[in-house]
Amino acid sequence: MLSNNRTPVRTLFLSDLHLGFRHSRPEQILDCLQRYQPEQLYLLGDFIDGWCLGRSWHWSDACSRVVTSIADLAASGTRVRLVAGNHDDFLRSPLLQMLMQRSGFCELADEFLHQLADGRRFLVLHGDQFDPWEKTTRLTSAAIGLLYDLLLRANSTWGKLTRCVLQGDASLVCRVKRRLRTLGSHLTHFRTQVARHARCRGFHGVICGHIHQPELLQLEGLVWCNTGDWIENCTAVIEHRCGALELVHIDSPQNSVQQPPRIAMKIPAEFSDQHHVARELSNGGEKSTRNSARFVHFRTANEL
C-alpha cells in the first residue's frame, strides 16, 4: 500500500543497488522509494549483485521489501525500466528481456532513450561497456572486486572505532580513492568515453551509474549525470515535472526520518555558451529541496 505522503516527481533514477551484497544499504533504498511517487522509475544496472551468488550472498528481509516496494510502484502506475549492469549481466539475455517485458513488471534493456519534460534527450545506461577494467581478464576483475570488498570492510571497522561517517565524501573509502591517481585517470577516461558516445548519437546528456561517483554537471556541451550508488553514497537523481534534474543524498534511516533528503549536487547554472539558458526553480518562496534546485535548460542550434 503506497503512502499519500510521497512527493510526486516525473522520474526517479537509481543505480547500483547491489542487492545481495553484504555492504549494500537496502534500508536507505527503501527510505528513498518511500519518499517519492515517480511517474517513471529507472534502475540503472547492478540491481542485484550476481557476483555474490554462491560465495557471499546476503539477502535480507529489507532486500525483499525493496523488490516489493518497486512492484507496488509498478502496480500503482509507475513505468519501471531496468538496465542491465556488469554485476547482473545475466539480465542481458534476449530471452529474459522478452519474458520480463511480457510480464508487464518492467521494461528491460541495455540502454534507454529518456526525454525530459522540457524536450531534452538523454542516454540512460549503466556504463560498464565503456570501462576498460571490465575488459580485463576474469582474474584481474576478481582481484579488483576482492580489494574493493576489503576496503569496504575496513571502512565499516574504521567507522565503528571512530564513530565517523561510513558513506559519502567523509568515508574512509572516498578518502582512499582520492589518493589513487590511477583511479582518477580511470574515472576521467570513463566520463570521456561515455560522453563521446552520447554526443555522437545526438543526445543532450547522459544518466548512468557503474563508477559509484555521484555527479551532476556540464561536461563538454553535455549534461553529465551519474546517479551514484547504494553502497558508498546513497544518492539518487530526480527529474521534476518541469524537467529539472536534482541529485539528492539519503541519510541513514535514523537520521532521515525527520529531515528531507539533502541536495548532494546540482547542475551549475552559470554557462557562457549561447545555446545554454539557465533557469532557477521557484514556487512562492518555498524552501523545500524540490523547489531550490537549479538546472540547465539548453537546446542545440538545429533543434526544433
> Residue 239: pLDDT above 80?
yes
Considering its fold, how many domains does the chain have in total?
A: 1
Confidence at residue 58, expressed as pLDDT on a 0 to 100 scale: 87
> What pLDDT does residue 141 have?
61
- Please give the residue that has the higher pLDDT: either 51 or 206: 206
Pairwise pLDDT comparison (44 vs 92), residue with the higher score: 44
113's CB contacts (< 8 A; 6+ apart) are 121, 122, 123, 124, 203
pLDDT at 186: 76
CATH at residue 191: 3.60.21.10
At residue 81, the pLDDT reads 95
Q: What is the pLDDT of residue 264?
A: 45
The residue among 230, 250, 222 whose CA lies nearest residue 238 is 250
Residue 59 confidence (pLDDT) above 70: yes
Q: Quick check: is 283 in a domain?
A: no
224 in a structural domain: yes
Euclidean distance between CA atoms 95 and 36, whole angstroms = 32
Give 39's pLDDT tier (boundaries 50, 70, 90). very high
2, part of any domain: no
Q: Kindly report the average pLDDT of the chain as a whole number.
A: 76
Bigger pLDDT: 96 or 181?
96
SS3 for the chain is: CCCCCCEEEEEEEECCCCEECCCCCHHHHHHHHHHEEEEEEEEECCCECHHHCCCCCECCHHHHHHHHHHHHHHHCCCEEEEECCCCCHHHHCHHHHHHHHHHCCCEEECEEEEECCCCCEEEEECCHHHCHHHHCCHHHHHHHHHHHHHHHHHHHHHHHHHCCCCCCCCCHHHHHHHCCHHHHHHHHHHHHHHHHHHHHCCCCEEEECCCCCCEEEEECCEEEEECCCCCCCCEEEEECCCCCEEEEECCCHHHHCCCCCEEEEECCCCCCCCCEEEEECCCCCCCCHHHCCEEEEECCCCCC
How high is the pLDDT of residue 142? 63
**pLDDT, position 38:** 97
C-alpha to C-alpha distance for 11 and 162, rounded to whole angstroms: 38
What range defines the domain where residue 79 resides? 7-269
CA atoms of 263 and 281, how far apart (whole Å): 14
Domain presence at residue 274:
no
Structural domain includes residue 198: yes
Of the two residues 145 and 271, the one the predictor is more confident about is 145
Tell me, what's the pLDDT at 276? 33
Q: Determine the average pLDDT of the residues in 208-219.
A: 90
- pLDDT (mean) for 276-288: 32
For range 238-246, the mean pLDDT = 93
pLDDT band at 294 (very low <50, low <70, confident <90, very high): very low
> Which residues, 6+ apart, have CB-to-CB distance to 216 below 8 Å?
223, 224, 225, 226, 237, 245, 246, 247, 265, 266, 267
What's the angle, vertex CA 107, arms to CA 104 and CA 109, rounded to 5? Answer: 150
What was the pLDDT predicted at 197?
Answer: 93
Summarised one tens digit per residue, pLDDT across range 78-116 is 999 999 998 888 888 877 777 777 777 789 989 999 999
Half-sphere exposure of 16 (CA within 13 A, CB side): 25
Q: When comparing pLDDT for 297 and 169, which is higher? A: 169
Q: What's the whole-model pTM score?
A: 0.74
Whole-number Å distance between alpha carbons of 235 and 262 = 10
Q: Pick from 145, 304, 171: which is nearest to 249 by CA?
A: 171
Type of residue found at 163: R
Read off the pLDDT of each residue in 195-204 and give the average, rounded to a whole number: 93
**Can you tell me the mean pLDDT for 191-208?**
93
Residue 67: pLDDT above 90? yes
Answer whether residue 15 is part of any domain. yes
Q: Is residue 294 one of the residues assigned to a domain?
A: no
Q: What is the percentage of the chain residues whose pLDDT exceeds 70?
A: 64
Mean pLDDT of 224-249: 93
303: alpha, beta or left? (left if phi > 0; alpha if psi -120 to 50):
beta
Query: Does residue 225 fall inside a structural domain?
Result: yes
Question: Is 230 or 148 the better-scoring residue by pLDDT?
Answer: 230
- 121-125 and 205-208 strand pairing: parallel
* Highest mean predicted confidence (pLDDT) among 35-39, 82-86, 171-175, 294-298: 35-39
